[in-house]
Amino acid sequence: MRLEDLPPLPETPGVYLWKAGESVIYVGKAKNLKARVTSYFHSEGKSLRVSQEATHLDFIVLRDEVEALLLEANLIKHHRPHYNVLMKDDKHYPFLKLTREEWPMLMVVRRVQNDGARYWGPFPEASAVRRIKRLVDRFFPLRQNSGFPFKKRRYPCLNHSMGRCLAPCVGKADPEQYRVVVQQVENLLDGKVEALYESLEQQMRAAAQHQDFERAAEIRDQITAVRSFFGTSQQAYDPELGDLDFLGFARAGDYALIQHYQMRGGQMLGRISRFVEGVKEASDAELLEAFLRDYYLEATPLPPLVLLPFELEAQDAFSTFLSSKGRKVEVRIPQRGDKTRLIELAQKNAETALHTELKVLERKGDHPGLKGLMEVLGLSRRPYRIEGYDISNLLGESVVGSITVFEGGRPKKAEYRRIKIKGLQGQPDDFFSMEQTILRRFTGSLAEQMPIPDLILIDGGLGQVRAAQKGLKQAGLDIPLVGLAKREETLVLPDGHTIGLPLSHPALQILIYLRDETHRNGLEFHRKLRNQKTLKSIFDDIPGIGPARKMALLNHFSTLEELRDMSVDELARLPGLDKRSAQAVLKALGAGIPSEGSRA
C-alpha cells in the first residue's frame, strides 16, 4: 500500500486496522489518527513492513484515547493479528465468583461471564484462591452443596450440622442473616477488613448481651481467623502498603518476560508470569502495554494503585480506563521508599525468571543465542558447535593458547584444550600466538580428535581476528570467524565491520560466556606453568632436594601458597621426602620450621 492510497484521515483519537485482503494484520490506537498512520510510511522495520503488506486501511473514530484503548484490546482479542504482540498463555487463572441469586454462593471459576455475578481475580496462584475459599467456607456460612443455580434439598448437608451453612436449601436460613454474611464475604474479598471487623464485633457483642455465648465464641473465632489471614503470615510483605499491583519486566533479544504481582491488605497473593517469544522488533512499551491490555480487560476488582517499572505513553489513558471500571486507579512509576523496592524486587525476579526460561530452551537444544548468532552473522545454519580462542601470557613468558568448546549453547569441558606457544624468543606477540594456535588446532593431532566447529570466536579485536584467519588459510579451511572486543563488547568481523548488540541480546550473552570461559581456561593453565617455573627455580637451590624429590613436589603442588600451607609432618609423607627435607623446603620458602603436627 502507498501513502497516496490512504483514505482521508481525521486528526482525532481512534483505532486503525491494517488489512491484507480480508485479514486484519495489525490493530493500533492513536490520539491523532492522521499523524500516527502516515508515520508508518516514514518508519523502518515492522511498521514499514505492515504498511507495505497491507492492501487497505480501516479506521474508527472515537471520543478519546480511553475508548480507543478499550476497542483496540477487544479487536486484538477478536482478530489476533499477526503483527500485534499477543500474550499467548495456556493458563486460565482462577477467579472467585459470588453468584447473583436469592441465596448467593461462592465458587472458583476460570472464566468471567457477563452474568451479573461479582468476580474477584484473576488470582496468580491457585493456592491463594484455596486459602481464601477455605477461610470463607469455614467461618462464613454461605451455602456450598446446593448447586448453581440454587436447588432445594430434602435434608441439610453435614455443613449445616457443623455450623458452616445456614441451610437455605431446606428453608432454614433467615434472609436478613444470610444477607449480612454475603456482605461480610464481599468486604473480605474487597480487602475492606476494617469494615468486616466492625461488623463481626457488633455481632459478637450482641450475642454476648443476649447471653448466646456459643455464638459469640464462633464470631470471635471468625475475627481471629481473618486477622490471622491478613496479619503477619509468611505471605505478608508489609501491611502498610495496602492494596496494589506491581510489575516487573525483562527482555533478551527476541524474548521477553513480564511478571505481575498482587498485594492485598499488605499480603502478597502471588504472581503471574508471561514469557513472550518473537518480540525482537517490539519496543519495551509495546510489550508492557500488551500485557496491561490483556490482563486488565478482565481483572476485577482493581486496586487503587498499579506500579510500573517504566513510563508509558498511554499511562494516563490506562489510569482513566481502569478507573472507569469502578474505583479510581492510579498508574504510575514509584519514585522513592518501599514502593521502589517492590519494583526492584519485581525486576530482579523477572530477570531471573527470563534466564530460567532461556535455560529451558537451551536444554531442549534450542538455545536462543544460537538462532540469534545465525541471524546476526548471516550464517546458513545455527552454529551448534562454537570454539573459543584466547592467548594468555606474562611479558612473553609461559604463553598459552586456550581453546574452549560450546555445543548447543553449553560448555563441553571435556574438549577444552591448551597449547604452549613456542618460537617467541622472549618477546610477546599475540598475533603470532593466535595464528600458531589456530594452525596447530586444525593441522596437528587435534584436527583428528576434534570435529570442525560451525563458528570460531576470537577473544580480541581486528588484529587477532585476521591472525586467526591467516592460520585458517594456511590450514586450508574456511570457517566463520568473529571477534569480541572487550571494552565495548563489540562483534568484530574479518572484513573490519563491527556489530553492536545490546548486552541483553542472547547472541551476545552466549559469546561473552564463551569468551570468559576461554580466558579463564588459558589463565588457569598459564598461572600453573608460571607457578611451576617459580617452584622449580626455588627447588634448584634447596640442599637435599635432588631431581626425584623436585619432581615429586612439582607433581603435587602448583602454587607456593599450597606448599606453604603444609606442616612438616604432612610434607614428609609425600613420596621420596623425609622430615629433614621437608624442613629444608619450608625454611627455603620463608615459612619457618613449624612444630610437628602444626600448620605452616
Strand partners, 257: 250, 275
The CA angle 262-264-268, to the nearest 5 degrees, is 55
Per-residue pLDDT in tens (0 to 9) along the chain, 600 residues: 888 889 999 999 999 999 998 899 999 999 999 999 999 998 888 889 899 999 999 999 998 888 898 899 889 888 889 888 877 554 567 889 999 999 999 998 888 888 889 988 787 667 767 878 888 888 888 998 888 888 888 888 888 888 888 989 998 889 999 999 999 888 888 777 777 778 888 888 888 888 888 878 878 887 887 776 655 344 444 667 788 999 999 988 778 999 999 887 777 777 888 888 778 778 899 999 999 988 888 787 888 999 999 999 889 989 998 998 878 999 999 988 889 999 999 999 999 988 888 877 766 666 778 888 998 999 988 898 999 999 887 544 567 889 999 988 888 888 999 888 877 665 667 898 899 999 999 988 888 888 889 999 999 999 999 999 999 999 989 999 999 987 788 999 999 999 998 888 889 989 998 998 888 887 776 566 555 555 555 666 677 777 777 767 766 665 555 666 778 888 888 777 888 888 887 877 664 444 333 333
Cα Rg for the chain, rounded, in angstroms? 35
Given this model, what pLDDT does residue 98 score?
A: 93
CATH superfamily membership of 3-79: GIY-YIG endonuclease (3.40.1440.10)
Q: At 135, which amino acid appears?
A: L
Identify the CA nearest to 193 among candidates 264, 123, 127. Answer: 264
Given this model, what pLDDT does residue 236 score?
A: 43
CATH superfamily membership of 371-494: UvrC, RNAse H endonuclease domain (3.30.420.340)
At residue 340, φ and ψ (nearest 5 deg) are -65, -35
CB-CB contact of 263 with 269 (8 Å): yes
Instruction: Please tell me the distance from the alpha carbon of residue 582 to that of residue 568, in angstroms, as a whole number.
Output: 6
CB-CB contact of 354 with 250 (8 Å): yes
Instruction: Please tell me the distance from the alpha carbon of residue 347 to that of residue 256, in angstroms, as a whole number.
Output: 12
Instruction: Please tell me the distance from the alpha carbon of residue 526 to that of residue 418, in angstroms, as a whole number.
Output: 9
Instruction: List, as one string, the DSSP characters of 475-525.
Output: HT----EEEEETTTTEEE-TTS-EE---TT-HHHHHHHHHHHHHHHHHHHH
CB-CB contact of 66 with 317 (8 Å): yes
3-state secondary structure 351-400: HHHHHHHHHHHHHCCCCHHHHHHHHHHCCCCCCCEEEEEEEEEECCEEEE
Residues 6+ apart with CB under 8 A from 207: 213, 215, 216, 219
Residue 44 DSSP symbol:
-
Place of cell 482513566: 320
Q: What is the CATH number of domain 239-361?
A: 3.30.420.10
pTM of the model: 0.54
Instruction: List, as one string, the DSSP characters of 201-256.
Output: HHHHHHHHHTT-HHHHHHHHHHHHHHHHHHSS-TTBS-GGG-SEEEEEEEEETTEE
Identify the CA nearest to 316 among candidates 335, 324, 273, 299. Answer: 324
What are the domain boundaries of the chain? Answer: 3-79, 239-361, 371-494
Identify the CA nearest to 139 among candidates 217, 212, 234. Answer: 217
Helix (H, G, I), strand (E, B) or coil at 134: helix
Q: What number of residues does the chain have?
A: 600
Given this model, what pLDDT does residue 599 score?
A: 36
CB-CB contact of 30 with 54 (8 Å): no
Helix (H, G, I), strand (E, B) or coil at 23: strand
CB-CB contact of 373 with 379 (8 Å): yes
Residues 6+ apart with CB under 8 A from 166: 141, 142, 143, 160, 172, 173, 174, 177, 178, 181
Q: Do domains 239-361 and 371-494 have the same CATH topology?
A: yes
